[in-house]
């Protein structure tokens, strides 16, 4: 029998891995995703008890059917990746996604409007999506505003957080990943600007355990990455 301290040291990475998994959104947003890819993705998320999978809108129903009865939520994207669809289109996609089984929506903010000094346009656009989500179901669907932090600078990032909060978002997501990786300093700015009941998601270029933990330590509640299974499995492997 191992000494108690040795048992604790072996179990600790497993416990940390489980905690990390519950903070992970496992994204599947690349081109050319097949039904087999989705099945494997959902199986890994279920095995590790991740927070959610984020899949293309056309795959929401299949993901919801695959994960039915488990503890992994199904999420999708709205106006991904540029946020420039018109408001009516965003609202329609939102309603369709919820009807198909989505319970988390990553809605890309109209960052172009924000950068052009038209924060009211961005706020009204996002608010209409939040309203569409709230009207579509009695269940609470998480609306997560994606703000593209690497493009904004600190002043506009704070403004984007304010816009998201006023519009009624449940979370604010750092970025789509197209404009650069998630950065702890952006997470810190967002966490400091937002009320405690609005979460922060760090997204973009997260490929390793240390990076994920740094982002969580900076104040993120979730980390969204296509590498979530590898990240969690690598931490589990410490105890192997």
**Per-residue pLDDT reduced to its tens digit, 130-147:** 999 999 999 999 999 999
Residue 176 lies in a domain: yes
Domain total in the chain? 1
In a domain, 193, yes or no: yes
Q: Give the domain extent around 68.
A: 24-234
Instruction: Give the pLDDT confidence of 58-80 residue by residue, as tens digits.
Output: 999 999 999 999 999 999 999 99
> Within a domain: residue 30?
yes
Give domain status of residue 122, yes or no: yes
Indicate the pLDDT class of residue 13, thresholds 50, 70 and 90: low
6 within domain boundaries: no
For residue 13, give both structure tokens. 């990475």
144 Cα distance to chain centroid: 7
Interhelix angle 60-67/35-48, nearest 10 degrees = 40
Tell me if 219 is assigned to some domain. yes
237 band by pLDDT with thresholds 50, 70 and 90: confident
Beta strands, E only, the chain: 24-27, 52-55, 73-78, 104-108, 142-146, 171-173, 199-203, 222-225
CATH code assigned at 28? 3.20.20.70
Cβ contact 239:11 at 8 Å: yes
Q: Is 2 contained in some domain?
A: no
């Amino acid at each position: 029998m191992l000494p108690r301290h040795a048992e604790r040291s072996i179990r600790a990475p497993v416990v940390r891995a489980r905690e990390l998994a519950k903070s992970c959104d496992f994204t599947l947003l690349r081109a050319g995703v097949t039904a087999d890819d989705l099945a494997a993705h959902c199986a890994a998320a279920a095995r590790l008890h991740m927070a959610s999978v984020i899949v293309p809108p056309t795959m929401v129903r299949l993901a919801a059917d695959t994960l039915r009865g488990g503890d992994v939520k199904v999420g999708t994207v709205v106006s991904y990746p540029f946020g420039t669809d018109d408001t009516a289109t965003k609202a329609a996609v939102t309603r369709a996604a919820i009807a198909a089984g989505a319970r988390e929506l990553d809605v890309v903010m109209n960052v172009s409007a924000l950068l052009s000094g038209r924060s009211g346009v961005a706020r009204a656009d996002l608010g209409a999506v939040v309203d569409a989500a709230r009207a579509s179901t009695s269940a609470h669907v998480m609306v997560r505003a994606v703000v593209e932090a690497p493009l904004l600078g600190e002043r506009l990032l704070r403004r984007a957080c304010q816009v998201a909060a006023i519009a009624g978002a449940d979370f604010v997501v750092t970025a789509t990943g197209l404009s650069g990786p998630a950065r702890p300093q952006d997470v810190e700015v967002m966490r400091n600007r937002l009320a405690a009941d609005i979460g922060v998601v760090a997204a973009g270029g997260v490929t390793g355990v240390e990076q994920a933990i740094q982002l969580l330590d900076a104040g993120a509640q979730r980390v969204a990455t296509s590498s979530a299974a590898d990240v969690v499995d690598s931490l589990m492997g410490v105890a192997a």
